[in-house]
Amino acid sequence: MSGAAALQTQIVAAAAPKVQRSLTGRVLIAVAVLFLILFIVLPVANVFTQALSNGLAAYWHVFFPPAVDLAAHLTIFEKHKQFAAVRQAADTWSAIRMSCGVAAVVVPLNIVFGIAAAWAITKFRFRGRVLLLTLIDLPFSISPVIAGLIFVLLFGRGGIAGDWATNVTWPDPTSLAWQGFSGHAWPLTFTNTYTGIIFTPLAIVLATTFVTFPLVARSLIPLMDAQGSDEELAALSLGAGGWRTFWTVTLPNIRWGLLYGAILCTARTFGEFGAVSVVSGHIDSNDTIPLRVEKLWDGYDMQAAFSVSTLLALLAVVTLIIKTAVELKTKRAEAAATAVQEVKPDEHRSTPDQQDLRLVPSAEGRKP
């Protein structure tokens, strides 16, 4: 039986017509590949080539410069160059920490908002649903520079909430320190505070959240809409509560789509430039990695500019690899779900009997 099945498979494969690409199809493929090479492959390769043009040691010293030896007999120019390298590395690491801190706040906020928005839009029908969908897509149609300007006009000194926004004081989360229980009700305290919103890290978080919040929601809405609400309704009918239904039914079904949206959101958070440039005030302590690259380029420090740019390029490559893996996993999960939903054969009948019954009607004129 297995040999006959294999022979039938070979006959079908041999009889299948081969797809012949026309001249137009080949030209379109060549044009697409040419565009990918010119606008993606070559620029990325050029970034790494320029960063490593002076050797691995020069690339390494951009992030870890040699310590300044004050006892060494160096000229004033050489000492100034060493001090500048140390200061440049300190500013670069400050920008890296700022980008990581912003991503640590923005990505969880977008995950929570994306799940809530996708749940509300796909599981319920209510007045204003289309308006909510339109508002979610709004950051896609607004320039990031305009988005940053919106926050300046809202929280700036002459803005709508300017009187409150310029005087509000909030703690720096990175300055959390231990103060003990002696004379204090709470053992932790913040040693540094900020006054105002605009031109502070809080403004960077707000602007980045505005620009990136559609990514998670838009990754979940089509998936949850296709899945429907049958499984959630079945869980509720069996006595499960809302939270238990979410954690045991909804979240496992959307985990790969959620991861896909979180990856896109993280990549966009690290690479955002326009909105962050407006609300940061071009203050060195507020620099993120893209702003740091701009300042190095404007200062004609090409080696450092390309070296820091490789961080964003590596992040893009890693994001692409993870994105591809998640897409493959999502397709496999969807294929498995589709296979489970298909009608299973009757276990009490043999396969030849089922084939015969499907081909021959019953005495009543109905197929079993």
- Mean pLDDT (the chain) is 81
Token pair of 33 as six digits:
């590949």
pLDDT of 27-46, one tens digit each? 999 999 999 899 888 988 99
Q: Output 175 or 212, whichever has higher pLDDT.
A: 212
Which strand (E) or helix (H) includes residue 195? strand 193-195
> Lowest-confidence range among 23-37, 127-141, 335-349?
335-349
pTM over 0.85: no
**pLDDT bucket at 336, cuts 50 / 70 / 90:** low
**pLDDT bucket at 102, cuts 50 / 70 / 90:** very high
User: Residue 190: what are its φ and ψ, rounded to 5°?
Assistant: -105, 125
Residue 349's pLDDT is what?
47
DSSP 363: T
Closest CA to 204 of 153, 146, 148, 137: 148
Asked whether the beta carbons of 166 and 229 are under 8 A apart, the reply is no
Q: Output 172 or 221, whichever has higher pLDDT.
A: 221
C-alpha separations of 110 from 92, 171, 212, 248 in Å: 27, 22, 7, 21
CB environment 296-327: b (16+ within 10 A), e (fewer): beeeebebbbbbbbbbbbebeeebeebeeebe
pLDDT of 249-271, one tens digit each? 888 888 888 988 998 899 999 99
